[in-house]
Structure 1
Amino acid sequence: MLSKASPGAFDVTTHATAEEAADAIRDREAIGGLSVAPTGLTVQTAAGAGAPYSALLKGIGAHLAASGQHVTYSELAPLPQDDPAGSAVTTLGLPLIFGGMASAAALVLAYRGTGLGRLAGVLAISALGGLAATAILQLGFGVLEGSYWLTAAAVAAGIAAISATVVGLGSLLGAAGIGLGAVLMLFVANPLSGLATGPAWLPQPWGEIGQYLPVGAAGTAIRSAAYFDGAGAAHAWLVLAAWIAVGAALTLIPRRRPEETA
């Protein structure tokens, strides 16, 4: 039925039991599941992975229920009661980007210290930003769940990846580097991030490409921390670490000073 309704849209994996399917969903290896038993059909959803997937699977369940089948629903990664639409992760997009870019611009244009000093500033500002943003959303508004410290670390890593990259480009190219970093993060990484829906909802291969950019990787790490106890985020953490390392390398590249003329 899935293949007939949307040819090529779904990559279906069969599991021996409903428990195995549920484990795959909790480990972020699948967006949801349909468990068929003699007593009827169970629709397994994970709203934390992205609201569109849950709505799609519930629509399939409603269609089958209308045809006379007995359908039940099992939510494996529920959204907080105060955020039923799952918009909390989406709202972090601009703070991630502008927090990273603003701190980078300040460190490049206003700070006259060493490259190591700039990188220390990146890490300090990112840590404070991650702690503050997560405290506001989770402790203040109650729209995030899961480990506060792990979620804060994911937010901080996202800010650091963006900031370090822009600092590196700015240190290398000056104001032009900051502009290049802004274009990369705002007009490339942000649209391909899948923050609002999860990357699988985007046209492919663009959704997959977005997971190799800082905003998309940060979104995946944050979703995993907030709704899946950190599962399925290894790739995202590696991507964020790689961008931080690249930014650090660009920042620390020795540059020759122009020779003075008599």
Structure 2
Amino acid sequence: MTPRAPLATTSRPSPWPQTAGTVALLTAITSMLLIAFAWPSARSSLHDVPIAVAGPTSAAGQVRAALDQRAPGGFDITEVADTAAAEQLIRDREVYGAIDLSTGSPQVIVASAGSTAVAQTLQSMAAGLAQASQPAAPSGVRDIAALPADDPRGAGLSAGAMPLVMGGLMGAVLLTRLVRGSGRRVTGALGYSICGGLAVAAILQFWFGSLSGNYLANAGAVASTIAATSLTILGLESLLGFAGIGIGAVVMMLVGNPLSGTSTAPEMLPGWSGMLGQLMPPGAGGQLLRSTAFFEGRGIAQAVTVLAAWVALGAVLCLIGGLRARRTAELSSTLTEAVAA
């Protein structure tokens, strides 16, 4: 009986330098993930948060000085004459809240639907002024744009930011793998955005109770966010191949999502990051959804412009990629025919 020969080794173990390099790469990736998601929260503070102060100029000046002393550079204060003017600024999403000194009983007016974190900060600041016996310190709190009773902390709205980005990314990946043709991919992305917007808005509004307002307007806000993300990644993939998907995922998930300010407010993020986040689909989409759900669509101009620009960019990139692929195919066909002749 012939003995069996030992199985041959198909490949040798990787060199130790390669192993060490892989470990270093994984460590760098993990560190970047931590920085991307933890840095905005760890360095969260007040940076020129717009609020209003209603009342006489002398009393407003005293409150301004007291706030500057407690939180230097924390608030961008607009002085108005009365309660109605302050409330209008809040409803138009020009300020997050107001300190009202124009009536006999000073109070804080907040809009927790605009930002729970800012509303809580204003309340704590007012309490601090009262404890310090500051002149005309507010004694009451009134919420004119409250979150729904089923989700008073806005947890569903905050937690929904990541699934929207992931949904746009997964939509782009599946469309590139299952659908051929730039026109069909763009059509598929738009169709998916509409269906996804209707589904996500229905879950948030009718099941979780996290949204108020007009359902179709909320669905439109969600659909716009998904479309901006998926079309941009589709366009990058049409130009750069698989690398385009990686670049799009990094931009949307590791930059856009952490800097969206959805769970706090853009003005509470460190330095320039809040402004940058509002120029990307996750941040613009979050602000648009808050406006449609709780402020009757007021203050949506910037968010709509940003999302429309990303959708247009993605469509143009898809068009360029499709034309290039068609030209390449025609050239290949011509060369094949020439060789066959």
**TM-score per shorter chain, which class?**
over 0.9
> In the alignment, is the contact (CA less than 8 A) between 1:64 and 1:71 conserved in 2?
no
1:46 counterpart residue number: 111
Cα distance in 2 for residues equivalent to 1:169 and 1:84: 39
For residue 70 of structure 1, report the CA deviation from its aligned partner: 6.0
Q: Which residue of 2 aligns with 1:108?
A: 176
Give the whole-Å Cα distance in 1 for the aligned partners of 2:103 and 2:194: 52
CA drift at 1:227: 1.1
After TM superposition, the score normalised by the length of structure 2 is 0.74
User: How far apart, in 2, do the equivalents of 1:160 and 1:3 lie?
Assistant: 42
- The SS at the match of 2:141 is strand
In our comparison, the structure showing a higher alpha carbon Rg is 2
Give the aligned partner of residue 259 of structure 2.
Answer: 192
Q: Say if 1:70 and 1:244 are closer, same or farther in 2 by CA, change over 3 A.
A: closer
Deviation at 1:132, TM superposition (A): 0.4
TM-score for the superposition, normalised by structure 1 = 0.95
SS of equivalent to 1:48: coil
Aligned to 2:189: 122
CA contact (8 A) 2:96 2:111 kept: yes
Q: Which SS does the other structure have where 1:39 is aligned?
A: coil
1:145 corresponds to which residue? 212
Which consecutive residues of structure 1, in runs of 5 or more, have no partner in the other structure? none
Q: Distance in 2 between matches of 1:165 and 1:173?
A: 12
What is the DSSP-based 3-state SS (H/G/I as helix, E as strand, rest coil) of the residue aligned with 1:2? helix
Q: CA distance change for structure 1 residues 172 and 35 in 2, over 3 Å: closer, same or farther? A: same
Q: Tell me if the contact between 2:225 and 2:307 (Cα under 8 Å) persists in the aligned partners.
A: yes
SS of alignment partner, residue 13 of structure 1 = strand
When the two chains are superposed, the root-mean-square deviation of aligned CA atoms in Å is: 1.4
Contact 2:127/2:138 (8 A) holds in 1: no
Q: Take 1:67 and 1:33, find their aligned partners in 2: how far apart are those partners? A: 19
The counterpart of 2:77, out of the listed 12, 19, 30, is 12
Aligned to 1:178: 245
2:99 alignment partner, SS class: strand
Change (3 A) 1:181 1:37: same
1:239 maps to 2:306: yes
1:29-53 CA deviation, whole Å, 9 max, x = no partner? 0011001136231101010111111
How many residues are aligned here?
261
CA distance in 2, matches of 1:87, 1:50: 12
CA apart distance, 1:251: 0.2
Quote the residue 2:145 is aligned against: 77
**Which segment drifts farther, 50-59 or 29-38?**
29-38
Structure 1 segment 198-213 matched on structure 2, within 5 A: 198-213=265-280
What is the match of residue 90 of structure 1? 158
Q: Give the Cα separation in 1 of the matches to 2:223 and 2:234.
A: 16
In the aligned structure 1, how far is the partner of 2:242 from the partner of 2:178?
12
Runs of 4+ in 1 over 6 A off after TM superposition: none
Match of 1:34 among 80, 99, 102: 99
Point out the more displaced range, 37-46 or 170-179: 37-46
Structure 1 CA distance, aligned partners of 2:142 and 2:158? 24
Amino acid at match of 2:328: R
Residue deviations 1:154-194, cap 9 Å, x none? Answer: 00000000000000001111111111100110111111111
Residue identity matched to 1:25: I
Secondary structure of residue in 2 paired with 1:212: coil
Preserved contact between residue 126 and residue 138 of structure 2 (Cα < 8 Å): no
Cα 1:198–1:30 shift into 2, 3 Å: same
> Within 1, Cα distance between the matches of 2:102 and 2:313?
51
3-state SS of the aligned residue for 2:213? coil
Deviations 1:3-45 (A, max 9, x none): 0011111111101111101100110000110011362311010
Query: Quick one: which amino acid aligns to residue 115 of structure 1?
Result: S
Q: How far 1:67 moved relative to its partner?
A: 4.9
Contact 2:157/2:210 (<8 A) preserved: no
From 165, 177, 187, the equivalent of 2:232 is: 165
Q: Secondary structure at the match of 2:101?
A: strand
SS at match of 1:47: coil
- More displaced, 197-206 or 182-191? 197-206
State, as a whole percentage, how many aligned pairs show the same letter: 43
Distance 1:14 1:204 in 2: 25
The 3-state SS of whatever aligns with 2:314 is helix
Letter matched to residue 149 of structure 1:
L
